[in-house]
């Protein structure tokens, strides 16, 4: 049985989710959605991810009582994946 690196799998999942966020942003702008996001879409996704991460935790907690938009769901999922990546890296350093 071949060795499968957990970190590699999670990093791949993070990149795939980043592309989904880019495609979601393009869709919300009304662009015709294709299989691969444009460079502009990826930059917009990076900005959205950064803005989501920069918001205060209590902002996210306040949303617990309101339904999240599809984009917010993707951003929350991305944040969870990034936390998992950091946990894996921390375990490897200890």
Q: In this predicted structure, what is the pLDDT of residue 25?
A: 94
**Exposed/middle/buried for residue 56 (C-beta within 10 Å: 0-12, 13-18, 19+):** exposed
The pLDDT of residue 20: 96
The predicted structure's pLDDT at residue 58: 54
Domain count, the chain: 1
Phi and psi angles of residue 19, each rounded to the nearest 5 degrees, phi first:
-65, -40
Tell me whether residue 59 is in a domain.
yes
- Asked if the structure places residue 1 within a domain, the reply is no
Instruction: Kindly give the residue spans of alpha helices, DSSP state H, lying in the chain.
Output: 6-29, 39-54, 57-62, 70-93
Look at residue 46 and tell me if it is in a domain.
Answer: yes
Q: Would you state the pLDDT for residue 60?
A: 60
Q: Is residue 42 part of a domain?
A: yes
Range of the domain at 10: 6-93
pLDDT of residue 34: 77
Do 41 and 22 touch, CB atoms closer than 8 A? yes
Instruction: Tell me the pTM.
Output: 0.85
Task: Output the pLDDT for position 1.
Answer: 74
* Positions of the chain with pLDDT lower than 70, given as ranges: 56-65
């Amino acid at each position: 049985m071949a060795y499968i690196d957990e970190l590699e799998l999670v990093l791949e999942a993070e990149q795939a989710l980043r592309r989904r966020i880019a495609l979601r942003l393009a869709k919300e702008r009304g662009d015709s959605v294709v299989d691969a996001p444009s460079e502009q879409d990826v930059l917009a996704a990076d900005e959205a991810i950064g803005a989501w991460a920069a918001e205060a935790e209590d902002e996210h907690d306040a949303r617990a009582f309101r339904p999240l938009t599809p984009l917010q769901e993707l951003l929350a999922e991305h944040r969870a994946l990034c936390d998992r990546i950091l946990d894996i890296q921390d375990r490897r350093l200890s």
